[in-house]
Amino acid sequence: MSSYTAPLKDMQFVLNELAGLGKVAALPGYEEATTDVVEAILDESAKFTGGVLDPLNYSGDQEGAKWADKSVTMPKGFKEAYRQFVDNGWNALSGNPEHGGQGLPKVVSAAVQEMWKSANISFSLCPLLTLGAIEALELAGNDAQKAMYLPNMISGNWTGTMNITEPQAGSDLAAIRSRAVPQGDGTYRIFGQKIFITYGDHDMAENTIHLVLARTPDAPEGVKGISLFVVPKFMVNADGSLGERNDVYCVSIEHKLGIHASPTCVMVHGDNGGAIGTLVGQENQGLKYMFVMMNAARFAVGLEGLAIAERAYQHAVAYARDRVQGRAIEGSASGVAIIKHPDIRRMLMLMRANVEAMRALAYSVAAAHDAAARHPDAAERAQNQAYVDLMIPVVKGWSTETGNEMSYLGVQVHGGMGFIEETGAAQYMRDARITTIYEGTTGIQANDLMGRKIAREGGATIKAVLGTMQQTRSELAQQAGAEFAAIAAALGRGIEALQQATDYIVANYGSDVRAVAAGAVPFLRLMGVVSGGWMMARAALAAQGRIAGGDADPFYPAKIATAHFYADHVMAAAAGLAQEVVQGGASALKLDEAMF
């Protein structure tokens, strides 16, 4: 089994050269995020994730979370690792300083969180949900709720959950039926069953704070009648100590394909009189709060795709160096390490190039998020927010689909050993499989991208992004050498394909939404492929700048070679994807439903 080594060099390169960490650190409130401080944080995070979380990844998968007597017991070592995680302050990294957080920008926490997810995605889901619940309370909680919950949640002493899904209400939240009955004392009693609740119960923290969607008695039908409640596992007394056990219990956990160490709970509220909760924000505004949180959660799941691909890549490289099999195809040597075989090399390059592209895109979106939140200039804030809104479904949808493909390739590099669970490669593939589903399937991301983010505004933001991509292409054209010529040509073709597909969407969404929507996922993939190619082109330019400045670090030529590979092998798909979007609507919908 290989060990996880955080890719610090590429992370630093992306942060500094592509995501503009310097500019983020110039924003009000982020002054502490200097290059030196960030480097120190990432170094510490690399040690913690490689030394503590990664060693529990396989054992956690094999043992799995266990349920008995309405309680979940985590696999061996998780409780201790979580204690260390909290004690080292990792959970508080991005938290609001008013409640004990360190207030670091999202672009920094993105890099740190990528490490958690690479090392142990099952573990990482616990803080992911806690951070989501914190965001909900920050956004809409009242002062009393904030004071009661936030300090312990930001530290990580208490964890959080999102109680959203019900058996009949998955992607469609309009179908939620859980009820919240006001008690006249400012509290509500919650009744209902929730499914797929990540870390709904566990033994790593003393309290769990559930954010729950439910309907009040006179709420309107559909999504306009959903309210958000906070329901603690243990009631919290006025002095902050824990009180009675609340009437919310985990009645079973799921038997899943992957993320075995992450308990996926069926939660029952109110089987014994009602779970006591308080309203978060205003009645019937629950969905609005959820959508704000959801953007953060979708970004975080996109990081999972990147992170698993990185881990699968490292695992595959280690095996490919070590495994001796066959002779070189050019016939000069027998008994060679398989990394010498051209097809193995192609697979490793594909993993590497996609990982680097996904990382660059994700961190650039995180940096834009920071600028959207803190830039003194309103126009800058708006422009950055538009970029974030456009790219969130791409980071989520494209990175998770790509993460699946890359972990699939990771198995392939291992040959027969890849199919044996002890090898570990299969776990990454199993774990990755949920990422294109939860927090909105790829289809839902693609509809969001096409409908809300492009068609609704006539393609204004994406056209601006295409303009920026064109600038990058012009810069590439000024570089010498075959590699830059290939990168420039591929980016040019990619921009053209994306432009063509965008024009088609803007022109036809209103008149034939079904046909356009049949191309939503190919469009999302196109958008990911080309955005990733743009990021790799920017990376190649930055690397060339360092080389031109006399830097002899082999990292820089390797970056250019990887960008060149991406241009040849990944960007090659762009025109075909555009063709699917523009041409494929009618044939996708033609077949009569009865004929399937």
- The interface with its own copies within residues 472-491 (CB under 8 A) comprises 483, 486
Considering only residues 352 to 391 of the shown chain, the ones binding its own copies according to CB under 8 A are 352
> Taking the complex as a whole, how short is the minimal distance between the CB of residue 444 and its own copies, in angstroms?
9
Q: Which of 14, 18, 268, 426 binds its own copies (CB under 8 A)?
A: 426
Q: Indicate the Cα dihedral angle 210, 211, 214, 220, nearest 10°.
A: 170
Q: Indicate the Cα dihedral angle 418, 399, 339, 327, nearest 10°.
A: 70
Q: How many residues bind its own copies (CB under 8 A)?
A: 100
**Do residues 236 and 298 touch, judged by C-beta distance below 8 A?**
no
Question: CA-CA distances (angstroms) from residue 301 to 296, 401, 536?
Answer: 9, 11, 22
- Euclidean distance between CA atoms 508 and 412, whole angstroms: 41
Q: How many CA atoms lie within 13 A of 338 on its CB side?
A: 18
Whether 401 is catalytic: no
Residue with smaller CB distance to its own copies, 112 or 429: 429
346 touches its own copies (CB under 8 A): yes
591 touches its own copies (CB under 8 A): yes
Residue with smaller CB distance to its own copies, 269 or 525: 525
> Taking the complex as a whole, how short is the minimal distance between the CB of residue 152 and its own copies, in angstroms?
30
547 touches its own copies (CB under 8 A): no
- Euclidean distance between CA atoms 29 and 8, whole angstroms: 25
Q: Which amino acid is at 334?
A: S
- Euclidean distance between CA atoms 433 and 420, whole angstroms: 18
Considering only residues 201 to 240 of the shown chain, the ones binding its own copies according to CB under 8 A are none
For the window 569-588, what string marks contact with its own copies as x by the rule CB under 8 A? x--xxxxxx-xx--xxx-xx
Considering only residues 278 to 337 of the shown chain, the ones binding its own copies according to CB under 8 A are 317, 320-321, 324-327, 329-330, 334-335
592 touches its own copies (CB under 8 A): yes
Considering only residues 498 to 527 of the shown chain, the ones binding its own copies according to CB under 8 A are 513-515, 517-522
> Taking the complex as a whole, how short is the minimal distance between the CB of residue 202 and its own copies, in angstroms?
19
> Taking the complex as a whole, how short is the minimal distance between the CB of residue 567 and its own copies, in angstroms?
7
- Euclidean distance between CA atoms 213 and 284, whole angstroms: 10
All residues at 6 or more sequence positions from 464 whose CB lies less than 8 Å from its CB, including other chains: 383, 386
Give the active site residue among 439, 457, 483, 580.
Answer: 439
**Do residues 391 and 531 touch, judged by C-beta distance below 8 A?**
yes
Q: Which of 1, 144, 147, 257 binds its own copies (CB under 8 A)?
A: 257
Residue with smaller CB distance to its own copies, 31 or 291: 291
Q: Reduce the DSSP state of residue 276 to 3 states and report it.
A: strand
Q: Which of 119, 312, 434, 535 binds its own copies (CB under 8 A)?
A: 434
Considering only residues 262 to 281 of the shown chain, the ones binding its own copies according to CB under 8 A are none
Residue 143 burial (10 A CB sphere; 0-12, 13-18, 19+): exposed
- Selected range binding its own copies among 52-60, 118-126, 132-140, 413-421, rule: CB under 8 A: 413-421
28 touches its own copies (CB under 8 A): no
> Taking the complex as a whole, how short is the minimal distance between the CB of residue 562 and its own copies, in angstroms?
7
3 touches its own copies (CB under 8 A): no
Q: Which of 79, 83, 256, 288 binds its own copies (CB under 8 A)?
A: 256
441 touches its own copies (CB under 8 A): yes
All residues at 6 or more sequence positions from 353 whose CB lies less than 8 Å from its CB, including other chains: 536, 562, 563, 565, 566, 569, 570
| Residue positions counted in the chain | 596
- Euclidean distance between CA atoms 403 and 355, whole angstroms: 8
Task: Provide the annotated active-site residues.
Answer: 439
